[in-house]
Amino acid sequence: MRPGPRRSLTHAEILDVAFDLLEAKGFAAVSVRGVASGLGLTPTALYTYYPSKNALLRGMVEHLLARLDPGETGATDAAGEAGAPGSAGVAAGRTRLLALALRLRELLTGHAGALGLIMSGPLDGPNAMRLNETLLESFMAAGLELDDAARAAYALQVYVLGSIALESAEADAESEPADASDRAFATEATGATLWTDLATFPLSERTEAVAAQHNSTAQFTWGVQRLLDGLIGVR
Amino acid sequence: MRPGPRRSLTHAEILDVAFDLLEAKGFAAVSVRGVASGLGLTPTALYTYYPSKNALLRGMVEHLLARLDPGETGATDAAGEAGAPGSAGVAAGRTRLLALALRLRELLTGHAGALGLIMSGPLDGPNAMRLNETLLESFMAAGLELDDAARAAYALQVYVLGSIALESAEADAESEPADASDRAFATEATGATLWTDLATFPLSERTEAVAAQHNSTAQFTWGVQRLLDGLIGVR
DNA sequence: GCGTAACTCTGCACACCGTGCAGTGATATA
DNA sequence: TATATCACTGCACGGTGTGCAGAGTTACGC
């Protein structure tokens, strides 16, 4: 056993406080000082547990992914091994993939600004690897060969994270009341084009109703389904 | 004409300095103070041009998107209008979509940490709208009906941005030399699982070579192609 | 049993951040 | 020419991540 006094906190306690802060006050409120004071100790004491704020954020990502629970591993196709995957295996794999995508989105949108966490580093923790492994299994159960499964697994993660990115970008803007003036400044900045009316873009105007629903679960599901169509489709 | 002294700077000059900073020192270096000093004036003077740092960032997004140049509008299918789109129109639409996706990615990856820009607010500037309109046109040229085109356009943007997100997350980590210790802390944080060897995930291990190429243009193109398969496919 | 090394945690400090506010000087209009 | 309006400066405030020195606690080798 190592010398020195015992630690007064567990990493789990720290992460819980961090997530409380994230949910209550948003991503910007997750500061070293904020978390530390929430735990009743000095900011620098936190550096005993995590070598940097970034490491803290990465720990949060893992903590989140630990709650993913990818379900049973692809035992269904373990029987059929190298044989041609039956259509039942394909359907099961696809169902599991959609469920994973939805669950992942749910986890990430549940905490405002979770995207900032993911951008704190690559997804290479054990739980992230577990997710990747499950995705690979599912895609192979759906009939893909190994290398394509790897690409497909990455593509699916890309889609989910991109979805979160655009969603949170829009969510941020809603909290800001100064829409018009901000936009005016921003567009004036480009020089040439003044602020253009929506009517200038006829197609965009006619799809306004659809665009308003872009962040809904239904349209997220639609997008994932189309992506899966392309990924595990005939070609 | 309004009273008061003339402005000494144009918005374009400000944005140029901001982009220089972005490319040279990364997203974190794009600070109000940094940009201001690069222009030879006081931080608060910048607030004459932009009401907030966020407005500056949004201006940068528009500046970037202005260089997108979506090419000629879908004049090819304007002739055939409501008639069934010929397979030539489909191919042309698809080609244009892929080109747009690649160009967008190129623009965003060209500047390190451009994702932070996009997350500064929704993509609702005139140039973003122009992009959206072009995407809608192309998807309709490829045979989609209006509402599906809207969903597809959003899905494609989601994919491109997600791709950038994961890419920049990995790029950030490469600049950090303290890999092992950071990771150790992060994974210890989850409590249960210690740092697990790659061998624990057999499929991930076998796809390591493929995963190493995830951020390449080739695999980005592969993903977009699969997405387009699903979006404009037979179903 | 005791020194010693290792460890946690505090206090202070630094450089930086976004931005509000008051003041100064230039400028076009009445 | 007086005045309102603008660009811009200087100062200040409260916040950020984190490096460094020291104080106190603990387990191990002698």
Predicted confidence band of residue A177 (pLDDT cuts 50, 70, 90): very low
DSSP result, B129-166: HHHHHHHHHHHHHTT--HHHHHHHHHHHHHHHHHHHHH
Residues of A within 8 A of B162 (CB-CB) are 157-163, 165
Decide if B115 touches A, using CB distance below 8 A: yes
Q: Say what the pLDDT of residue B87 is.
A: 65
Dist CA A109 CA A218 (whole Å): 14
Say how far apart CA A26 and CA A131 lie, in whole Å: 26
pLDDT at position A230: 97
Can you read off the two tokens belonging to residue A124?
């290479």
Please measure the distance between the N-terminal and C-terminal CA atoms of chain A and give it in whole angstroms: 58
Task: Indicate if CB(B34) is under 7 A from strand C.
Answer: yes
What are the domain boundaries of chain A?
Answer: 1-51, 70-232
* Residue A86: predicted pLDDT: 60
CA of B64 to C1' of C14 (A): 36
Chain C positions within 7 A of any protein Cβ atom are 5-13, 16-22, 25-29
Average pLDDT on A205-233 reads: 96
Are A124 and A81 in contact, with CB atoms under 8 Å apart? no
Tokens of B161: 């941005």
Find the helix or strand (DSSP H, E) in which A181 lies: helix A179-189
pLDDT, averaged across chain B: 84
Mean pLDDT of chain A: 84
* pLDDT of residue A172 exceeding 70: no
pLDDT (0 to 100) of residue B182: 46
Residues of B in contact with A200 (CB under 8 A): 129
Residue percentage of chain B with pLDDT more than 90: 62
The answer to whether A55 touches B185, Cβ cutoff 8 Å, is yes
User: B25 CA to chain A: closest CA distance, Å?
Assistant: 17
- Long-range CB contact pairs, A211-218, < 8 A, 24+: A211/B150, A211/B154, A214/A166, A214/B151, A214/B154, A215/A166, A215/A167, A215/A170, A217/A102, A217/A105
Tracing tokens 């020192």 back to the chain, one arrives at: B25
Confidence at A171, pLDDT banded by 50, 70, 90 = confident
CB atoms within 10 A of CB B66: 18
Average pLDDT over residues A151-165: 96
Confidence of residue B232 (pLDDT cuts 50, 70, 90): very high
Q: What is the Cα–Cα distance from A80 to B118, expressed in whole angstroms?
A: 46
Asked if the model's pLDDT at residue A208 lies above 50, the reply is yes
Q: Is the CB of A54 under 7 A from strand C?
A: no
If one compares B51 and A187, the residue with the highest pLDDT of the two is B51
Which residues does chain A have within 8 Å of residue B175's beta carbon, measured at their own beta carbons?
A: none
State CA A170 to chain mean position distance.
15
* SS3 track for A203-234: HHHHCHHHHCCCCCHHHHHHHHHHHHHHHHCC
- What's the average model confidence in pLDDT over B104-132? 86
Give me the pLDDT at residue A85, please. Answer: 55
Between the CA of residue B167 and those of A36, A118, B176, what are the distances in Å? 31, 11, 15
Nucleotide nearest to A36 (CA to C1'): C9
The arithmetic mean of pLDDT across residues A165-179, rounded, is: 68
Q: CA B42 – C1' D12 distance (Å)?
A: 15
Chain D bases closer than 7 angstroms to a protein Cβ: 3-12, 15-21, 24-28
The band of A84, judged by pLDDT with boundaries at 50, 70 and 90, is: low
Chain B residues lying within 8 Å of A51, measured CB to CB: 178, 181-182, 185
Do A185 and B157 count as a contact with CB atoms less than 8 A apart?
no
CA distance B186 to chain A (A): 4
Asked whether the beta carbons of B138 and B97 are under 8 A apart, the reply is yes
Q: Which of B23, B26, B149 is nearest to A222 (CA)?
A: B149
| Locus of tokens 């308003």 | A212
Q: Does A145 have pLDDT greater than 50? A: yes
- Which two structure tokens, joined as six digits, stand for A217? 């679960």
pLDDT beyond 70 at A179: no
A201 part of contact set with chain B, CB < 8 Å: yes
Q: Per-residue pLDDT tens for A11-70? A: 999 999 999 999 999 999 999 999 999 999 999 999 999 999 999 999 999 999 998 876
- For residue range B28-84, list pLDDT tens digits in order: 999 999 999 999 999 999 999 999 999 999 999 999 999 887 655 444 444 444 445
CA distance A61 to B186: 9
Return the pLDDT at A174: 59
Q: Output the pLDDT for position B174.
A: 59
CATH says A70-232 is which class? Answer: mainly alpha
Q: Are B57 and B74 in contact (CB under 8 A)?
A: no
Please list every residue in chain A whose beta carbon sits closer than 8 Å to the beta carbon of residue B136.
203-204, 207
Q: Which of A4-18, B81-95, B194-208 has the lowest mean pLDDT?
A: B81-95
Q: Do A129 and B204 touch (CB under 8 A)?
A: yes
A7 pLDDT tier (thresholds 50, 70, 90): very high
Residue A116: predicted pLDDT: 80
Q: In which band, very low, low, confident or very high, does the pLDDT at B159 lie, cut at 50, 70 and 90?
A: very high
The A 67-106 residues near strand C by Cβ under 7 Å are none
Percentage of residues in chain A having pLDDT higher than 90: 62
CB contact under 8 A, A152 and B226: yes
| Check whether domain A1-51 has CATH 1.10.10.60, yes or no | yes
Higher pLDDT residue, B192 or A97? A97
Tokens of B64: 């970037």
Question: Taking 50 as the threshold, does the pLDDT of residue B212 lie above it?
Answer: yes
pLDDT of A189 > 50? The answer is: no
Is the pLDDT at A199 greater than 80? The verdict is no
Beta carbon of A5 within 7 Å of strand C?
yes
pLDDT of A181 reads 47
* Average of per-residue pLDDT across B117-140: 91
Q: DSSP H helical segments within A26-178, as ranges?
A: 32-39, 53-66, 87-110, 114-118, 126-141, 146-175
| Span A76-85, average pLDDT | 47
DSSP string, B175-194: H---HHHHHHHHHHHTSS--
Q: How far apart, in Å, are the Cα atoms of A95 and each of A157, A225, B67?
A: 16, 10, 41
- Alpha-carbon distance B2 to A222, whole Å? 52
Whether residue A107 contacts residue A67, with contact meaning beta carbons closer than 8 Å, is answered with: yes
CB contact under 8 A, A157 and B162: yes
B45 CA to C23 C1' distance (Å): 14
Best interface-test mutation with A: which of B151, B219, B221 has the largest number of A CBs within 10 A? B151
Contact A62 B137 (CB under 8 A): no
For residue A105, which amino acid is it? Answer: R
Query: For residue A15, what is the enclosing H or E element?
Result: helix A11-25
- Assess whether pLDDT exceeds 50 at residue B187: no
- Among the listed ranges A50-59, A75-84, A160-169, B29-38, which one has the minimum average pLDDT value? A75-84
C-alpha to C-alpha distance for A46 and A33, rounded to whole angstroms: 9
Residues with CB under 7 A from strand D: A 1-6, 29-34, 43-44, 47, 52-54; B 2-9, 41-45, 48-49
Which residue of chain A is at minimal alpha-carbon distance from B162?
A: A162
